[in-house]
């Protein structure tokens, strides 16, 4: 995927030098390659083209309006995880019938909104949630379209913090209880069970857990059909991983080849909810070196102007991101801990990295930062949220301006 190239040693995104973008827009700066997102989207579409399906882009990965709009323009539908994400989807132009709404702990207010909009489906996480949907929809005189999120008790073999499909995880209705629960719910006046859903984790790099989850949904759909409950769709969630450390990961074609033979026998429409796979590798975080401090043993602390407030993944679940100089630098290598300015020891973007010895004012690029990056940014230490730039057809557009102190304090009295 052509997310970036080096020209005479400098990192370029679709013909624009990241160093020039940093001068123009400041740092820390998120830069996204729109062409790379489009290429990825087409890759997944192509892989599934011979089976009735729809890609519902998981907004949680990156819901900046410009990214949501880009995905919509490519033909995606949306997967929202909160009313805030539903509102982003609507603002980006997605129709309610193109939105599925997932999430543990949906409040009554959120359900009211979702039911009122008439979404493609509310992916319900428990019997209690379906009861509440039924009560709200019945009071409104409508039938809500509900898919049951099933917890298939499958180990996604990903990081424990981003695994969601084990029975010890808080997500979904236990597979053993799902059939009986659907049968109990079928007579409800406010609910129509239209689908079955599962999402067993994120950054999954082996296909077997995704296959087993699809098998579980297909088997449950058949049992329900035999018992008189016919669903319209199977939603197999997202989860496909990307090669943060250069490891071999499944391609979209391999993913399709492994799940389609399983799903095909059901004849049901397929929903996919990819997030990271579509946008992860298309994002780069550009950061400037603020200070250098020697450590005992010859290592360096390279203190940069981005940290856990801009990119939380390394601190949240020990995630690895490649970090390199943005420009050609001809200096001897040094072993570096690349750390942010936030007042927390965990504020380390990369440990023990060998880089041409960095100097103050150098620019570094943190790669593969397009998913679960900017969306998790915070104002901790009263740091303003970074700017985000989308590069498309050789042009850079600010899709989120850098937060000012006035923005940051605006809600306070």
CA distance 18 to 222: 52
Q: Is 182 a catalytic residue?
A: no
CB of 251 to ligand PLP, least distance (A): 15
CB of 286 to ligand PLP, least distance (A): 23
CB of 371 to ligand PLP, least distance (A): 6
CB of 199 to ligand PLP, least distance (A): 4
Indicate which residue of 13, 182, 336, 343 is catalytic.
Answer: 343
Q: In the complex with ligand PLP, which residue's Cβ is closer, 11 or 263?
A: 263
3-state secondary structure of 23: helix
CB of 275 to ligand PLP, least distance (A): 3
Would you tell me the crossing angle of helices 127-140 and 108-117 to the nearest 10 degrees?
50
Whether the CB-CB separation of 75 and 97 falls below 8 Å is answered with no
Q: In the complex with ligand PLP, which residue's Cβ is closer, 188 or 276?
A: 276
Would you tell me the crossing angle of helices 252-264 and 34-47 to the nearest 10 degrees?
30
Q: In the complex with ligand PLP, which residue's Cβ is closer, 25 or 277?
A: 277
Q: What is the Rg, in whole angstroms, of the alpha carbon atoms belonging to the chain? A: 23
Query: In terms of DSSP H, where are the helices of 7-64?
Result: 18-25, 34-47
Q: Read off φ and ψ for residue 106, nearest 5 degrees.
A: -70, 130
Dump strand ranges (E) for 252-403. 269-272, 283-294, 300-304, 323-325, 333-339, 348-356, 363-366, 387-392, 395-400
CA distance 211 to 255: 9
Q: In the complex with ligand PLP, which residue's Cβ is closer, 58 or 263?
A: 58
Q: In the complex with ligand PLP, which residue's Cβ is closer, 216 or 304?
A: 216
Which residue is it, tokens 């801009």?
310
Return residues touching ligand PLP (CB under 6 A): 58, 60-61, 79, 102, 199, 202, 237-240, 273-277, 371
Kindly list the catalytic residues. Answer: 343
């Amino acid at each position: 995927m052509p997310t970036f190239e080096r020209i005479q040693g400098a990192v370029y995104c679709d013909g624009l030098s990241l160093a020039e973008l940093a001068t123009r827009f400041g740092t820390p700066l998120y830069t996204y390659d729109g062409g790379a997102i489009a290429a990825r989207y087409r890759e997944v579409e192509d892989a599934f083209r011979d089976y009735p399906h729809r890609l519902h882009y998981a907004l949680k990965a990156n819901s900046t309006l410009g990214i949501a709009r880009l995905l919509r323009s490519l033909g995606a539908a949306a997967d929202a995880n909160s009313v805030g994400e539903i509102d982003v989807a609507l603002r980006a132009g997605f129709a309610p019938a193109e939105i599925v709404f997932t999430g543990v702990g949906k409040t009554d207010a959120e359900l009211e909104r979702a039911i009122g909009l008439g979404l493609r489906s509310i992916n319900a996480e428990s019997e209690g949630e379906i009861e509440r949907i039924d009560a709200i929809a019945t009071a409104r005189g409508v039938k809500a379209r509900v898919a049951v999120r099933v917890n298939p008790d499958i180990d996604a073999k990903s990081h424990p913090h981003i695994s969601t499909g084990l029975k010890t995880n808080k997500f979904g209705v236990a597979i053993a209880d799902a059939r009986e629960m659907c049968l109990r719910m079928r007579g409800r006046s406010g609910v129509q069970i239209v689908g079955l859903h599962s999402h067993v984790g994120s950054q999954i790099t082996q296909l077997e857990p995704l296959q087993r989850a699809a098998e579980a949904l297909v088997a449950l759909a058949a049992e329900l059909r035999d018992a008189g409950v016919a669903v319209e769709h199977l939603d197999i969630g997202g989860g496909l991983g990307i090669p943060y450390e250069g490891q071999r990961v499944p391609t979209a074609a391999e993913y399709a080849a492994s799940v389609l033979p399983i799903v095909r026998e059901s004849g049901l429409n397929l929903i996919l909810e990819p997030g990271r796979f579509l946008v992860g590798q298309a994002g780069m975080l550009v950061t400037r070196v603020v200070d250098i401090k020697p450590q005992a043993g010859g290592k360096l602390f390279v203190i940069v102007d981005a940290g856990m407030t801009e990119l939380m993944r390394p601190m949240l679940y020990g995630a690895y991101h490649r970090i390199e100089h943005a420009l050609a630098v001809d200096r001897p290598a040094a072993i570096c801990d690349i750390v942010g300015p936030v007042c927390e020891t965990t504020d380390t973007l990369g440990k023990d990295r060998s880089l041409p010895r960095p100097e103050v004012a150098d620019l570094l690029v943190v790669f593969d930062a397009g998913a679960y990056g900017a969306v998790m940014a915070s104002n901790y230490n009263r740091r303003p949220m970074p700017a985000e730039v989308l590069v498309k057809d050789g042009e850079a557009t600010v899709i989120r301006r850098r937060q000012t102190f006035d923005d940051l304090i605006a809600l306070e009295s």
